[in-house]
Amino acid sequence: MIKKSILMGALMMAAGGLCADVKLPAIFNSDMVIQREIAAPVWGWADPEEKVTVSGSWGEKSDTEAGKDGKWQVKLDTPKAGGPFVITIQGKNKIELNNVLSGDVWICSGQSNMQWNVNNSNNAKQEIENAKYPEIRLFTVKSAASQTPLKDTAGKWMPCRPDTIGYFSAAGYFFGRKLNQDLKIPVGLINTSWGGTCIEAWTPLDKQINDPVVKNMKDNYDRNATTYTPEAAKKKFDDEKIVWQKKLEEWKAAGNKGQQPREPRLDPHPQQHQNYPGNLYNGMIVPILPFAAKGAIWYQGESNAGQANNYRTQMERMITCWRDAWDQKDLPFYFVQLPNFMKAWSTPVEDSSWPVLREAFMKTAMEVPNTGMAITIDIGEENDIHPKNKQDVGDRLARVALYKTYGMKDTVWTGPIAQSCKFDDEKAIVRFENGGSPLAVKGEKLQGFALVNDEGLTVKADAKITGEDTVEVIAPEVKKTAMVYYAWANNPTGVNLINKAGLPASPFRFGTMPKTNFMAKLLPAEAGDYKLVYSFDPTNPKLTDNNTKIVYAEDNSAKITGKFKKVAYFMALQANDGKVSYAFVCMDPFTDDVRKIGVPVKSAGQIFQQLVTGMTVKSNVDGVKTGDYPEGGNIEFWDCNYGGNNSAKVPGASDSALDFGDQYDSNRSPGYGCMQIHNWKEKQSVICFNNFSGGRSADAGIGNWVGGKTLDWTFSGSAKNFVRGEFKVLVQE
């Protein structure tokens, strides 16, 4: 009997274990903050049709039954700010959440600068010792990338103490600390961030898949997935780790100067990569939905510098998606405009991606309701993409929130933001939102302004404050102003427009770059004799579709229906001083296919390494021989890299200095590219355009390159030395 009783008891216990206990997602546990004074969602899992009751010690209660899938959710009315409270979940079992505070919850998201922890920030030791804020609660979402929405994450709410704050987001903490101190309410901070990630990963895939930029990104990952193997990924990781360890030792030996070498990571399957579109939304946002929140802060953008022109669109798309997911159409969303970074600024205007990205943040803040921006152009570090001054980042984000979300209208909430501009002949008059504090200058004289005249010349300009919210910009060389810039560079050091509260002004630009038809101005006869087929700017070329197609400013190829008698190429490059260098080359056709006379990108399918006849050269560049050369030219057109060997056996060329017959090389394909026209008779390069995917680092030059031993090494990275350019492909019918 005893043995039978023991057996029966064991069977009953085993049967009882088959009944699912009521469970909560990780985002609900003791020490949490629940959003105050709303009907807050509380959810979890239980047996199908099991009754679940959720009650708060402040006197509110809500009950429901689990669905057939075991999922249940209630809305619990939450109290005013305060606590501690107890939340009880009662089903077949009972869960108690203790030491719960009612306050405001903020989502902290982005890439490495949001993930950057207090341990690695300025004055870390003192900040950690002072981090005794029992009304601030911290939760970090586990890093996870997934192609399908995850039900749950891992993590635990913790009170803010010296032993818990060190590895938490510094920007998030300093933001939450100021809110807690100024509002005197509990603050919950949910850190869901991942270093090196792009905005597309944080946006639902189905909401962005029709965007060509996103589709191209997705296609690249999908294409790479077909050749991925774990073994190859492991070998690549091992090889990179050896290189990293050597660089790390050198960095330490140099006294830890500059940016610390980044440790390599083992590449996951491409479709499980953290930057695959939608993967972080599925893995790190969905698991905390729809946990009630007051708003969100965002520090990201570095990984999207290559798509800066698309960031404004993507930013609004992500914000809208998050607001829909939280069912809060006006969810406050505040973000950090990227700080200064990279080589110090040396020209009036730097045509690069980071200023454009900052402009995207500014336009989002101005155009998307209930958003705002923390300006940080003064806190960056030239050699480190991770500024350690996260205190000012958090403070400035909190100022925006205090003003916009909490209605504290006496708060100086932002640095100056340019609102409008009036061009008055030689002057530009800019009006600002000053953030509640009059404009001021940090130093004796305003720095960082530039003007563009009606011929496209960009010059450094003087500026002066003419009112609480206006600045007048002027330059002696400019008689008719077309554009104005401020702090338009990757690292615009020394810029000093602020308000009297000391907050810096946002970089900006107004106006339109004048369009100049250099060919019509310099060679009117040829411009009239030839039909334009393609045109683009060789100082800032754009490729698309995985670098297989070039984005032409003009494409009239469909209008060229018959054979043509001549093919011509015109390149003009305008320097910072306004001087324009040009070269024009015409020749007998080397193909009768109009698609193959343009930039030789992968989609065009052209590979030409051959002599041409009937060549004429015109140029204003010193040293370039001009005139007619019936048999004296050759071209090199292909989408790939090249070597110096004279594989084409061009007369008079060599394998070294006179490398006019380069060896076609499929390495770095597609997108690198070679588009060179030579006058081998005179041992000269005439027009060189390479590295088609390089943007402002493309290669563009006229004549022999004098920077090295070879004469056509394509003026390596020279596009950035010019303010703009013009490349035209023409035919004579």
Of residues 216, 233, 183, 190, the one with CA closest to residue 29: 190
pLDDT, tens digit, 9 for 90 and up, residues 35-88 = 999 999 999 999 999 999 999 999 999 999 999 999 999 999 999 999 999 999
Q: Looking at the domain assignment, is residue 249 inside a domain? A: yes
Q: Looking at the domain assignment, is residue 439 inside a domain? A: yes
- 246 and 363 in a single domain? The answer is no
Domain end call among 494, 511, 528: 511
Q: Which has the minimum average pLDDT: 92-106, 289-303, 364-378, 671-685?
A: 671-685
- Kindly report the number of other CB atoms within 10 A of residue 510's CB atom: 18
Rounded CA separation 556/437 (Å): 53
Rounded CA separation 651/660 (Å): 9
pLDDT, tens digit, 9 for 90 and up, residues 97-144 = 999 999 999 999 999 999 999 999 999 999 999 999 999 999 999 999
180 or 672: whose pLDDT is higher?
A: 180
Confidence category of residue 711, pLDDT binned at 50, 70, 90: low
Rounded CA separation 676/690 (Å): 8
715-721 LR contacts (CB < 8 Å, sep 24+):
715/688, 717/691, 719/538, 719/539, 719/540, 719/541, 719/694, 719/695, 720/351, 720/352, 720/539, 720/696, 721/575
- 374 and 391 in a single domain? The answer is yes
According to the model, what pLDDT value does residue 714 have? 58
Rounded CA separation 396/387 (Å): 15
Domain end call among 468, 487, 511: 511
According to the model, what pLDDT value does residue 661 have? 76
Task: Answer whether 291's CB lies under 8 Å from 154's CB.
Answer: no
Rounded CA separation 692/673 (Å): 6
Confidence category of residue 664, pLDDT binned at 50, 70, 90: confident
- 562 and 502 in a single domain? The answer is no
- 172 and 143 in a single domain? The answer is yes
Task: Answer whether 639's CB lies under 8 Å from 601's CB.
Answer: yes
Q: Which has the minimum average pLDDT: 62-66, 204-208, 349-353, 417-421?
A: 349-353
Confidence category of residue 705, pLDDT binned at 50, 70, 90: confident
Q: Is the dihedral of CA 352, 509, 317, 300 positive or negative?
A: positive
Amino acid at 374: A
Rounded CA separation 40/55 (Å): 12
Q: Looking at the domain assignment, is residue 594 inside a domain? A: yes
Determine the average pLDDT of the residues in 586-607.
93
- 482 and 604 in a single domain? The answer is no
Rounded CA separation 234/99 (Å): 46
According to the model, what pLDDT value does residue 6 have? 41
Number of domains the chain contains: 4
- 285 and 402 in a single domain? The answer is yes
Portion of the chain with pLDDT greater than 70, in percent = 95
Q: Distance of alpha carbon 317 from its chain centroid, rounded?
A: 15
pLDDT, tens digit, 9 for 90 and up, residues 314-334 = 999 999 999 999 999 999 999
- 243 and 361 in a single domain? The answer is no
Task: Answer whether 341's CB lies under 8 Å from 382's CB.
Answer: yes
- 438 and 381 in a single domain? The answer is no
Task: Answer whether 138's CB lies under 8 Å from 158's CB.
Answer: yes
Q: Which has the minimum average pLDDT: 259-263, 661-665, 706-710?
A: 706-710
Q: Looking at the domain assignment, is residue 653 inside a domain? A: yes
Q: Which two tokens stand for residue 561?
A: 């229906």
pLDDT, tens digit, 9 for 90 and up, residues 495-533 = 999 999 999 999 999 999 888 899 999 999 999 999 999
According to the model, what pLDDT value does residue 413 have? 98
Rounded CA separation 389/223 (Å): 40
Q: Looking at the domain assignment, is residue 636 inside a domain? A: yes
Q: Is the peptide bond before 339 cis (omega within 30 degrees of 0)?
A: no
Q: Which two tokens stand for residue 77?
A: 């009315």
Rounded CA separation 409/530 (Å): 63
Rounded CA separation 635/645 (Å): 15
Of residues 395, 396, 355, the one with CA closest to residue 375: 396
Q: Give 339's contacts (C-beta < 8 A, 6+ positions apart).
A: 376, 377, 378, 379, 380, 387
| Domain enclosing residue 257, as ranges | 229-266
- Report whether pLDDT(551) > 90: yes
- 148 and 291 in a single domain? The answer is yes
Task: Answer whether 536's CB lies under 8 Å from 688's CB.
Answer: no
Q: Which two tokens stand for residue 454?
A: 């009606």
Rounded CA separation 227/220 (Å): 12
Rounded CA separation 532/534 (Å): 6
465-468 LR contacts (CB < 8 Å, sep 24+):
465/439, 465/440, 465/441, 466/429, 467/439, 468/434, 468/438, 468/439
Q: Which two tokens stand for residue 604?
A: 């065009």
How do strand 295-299 and strand 580-587 relate by DSSP bridges?
Answer: unpaired
According to the model, what pLDDT value does residue 1 have? 38
Q: Could you tell me the pTM of the whole model? A: 0.86
Task: Answer whether 44's CB lies under 8 Å from 25's CB.
Answer: yes
According to the model, what pLDDT value does residue 280 have? 98
- Report whether pLDDT(460) > 50: yes
pLDDT, tens digit, 9 for 90 and up, residues 279-290 = 999 999 999 999
What Å distances lie between residue 84 and 25, 31, 105, 134, CA to CA? 21, 9, 16, 11
Strand partners, 532: 730
- 290 and 312 in a single domain? The answer is yes
What Å distances lie between residue 198 and 288, 301, 648, CA to CA? 20, 7, 44
**CB neighbour burial string for 405-435, b if at least 16 within 10 angstroms, e if fewer:** bbeeeebbbbbbbbeebebeebbbbbebbbb
Rounded CA separation 187/159 (Å): 10
Strand partners, 96: 88
Rounded CA separation 458/462 (Å): 13
Task: Answer whether 432's CB lies under 8 Å from 470's CB.
Answer: yes
Portion of the chain with pLDDT greater than 90, in percent = 78
Q: Looking at the domain assignment, is residue 15 inside a domain? A: no
298 or 258: whose pLDDT is higher?
A: 298
Q: How far from each other are the two terminal CA atoms of the chain, in whole angstroms?
A: 109
Task: Answer whether 118's CB lies under 8 Å from 128's CB.
Answer: yes
Q: Looking at the domain assignment, is residue 156 inside a domain? A: yes
- 632 and 723 in a single domain? The answer is yes
Q: Looking at the domain assignment, is residue 435 inside a domain? A: yes
pLDDT, tens digit, 9 for 90 and up, residues 1-32 = 344 444 444 433 333 344 579 999 999 999 99
- Which stretches of 468-518 are assigned E, i.e. beta strand? 470-474, 481-486, 497-499, 508-511
Task: Answer whether 342's CB lies under 8 Å from 490's CB.
Answer: yes
- Kindly report the number of other CB atoms within 10 A of residue 35's CB atom: 19
Summary mean pLDDT of the chain: 92
Q: Give the strand order in the sheet containing 508-511.
A: 458-460, 449-453, 481-486, 508-511
According to the model, what pLDDT value does residue 713 have? 52
Confidence category of residue 252, pLDDT binned at 50, 70, 90: confident
Of residues 537, 669, 517, the one with CA closest to residue 600: 669
- 180 and 156 in a single domain? The answer is yes
Q: Which two tokens stand for residue 213?
A: 């930029």
The CATH number of residue 325's host domain is 3.40.50.1110
Confidence category of residue 707, pLDDT binned at 50, 70, 90: low
Q: Which two tokens stand for residue 252?
A: 């330490």
Confidence category of residue 708, pLDDT binned at 50, 70, 90: low
Rounded CA separation 267/265 (Å): 6
Q: What is the DSSP string of 517-586?
A: -HHHHH-HHHHHHSEEEEEE-TTS--EETTTTEE--SEE-GGG--S--SEEEEEEEEEETTS-EEEEEEE
Domain end call among 387, 414, 441: 414
Rounded CA separation 301/304 (Å): 5
Radius of gyration of the chain, Cα coordinates, nearest whole angstrom: 31
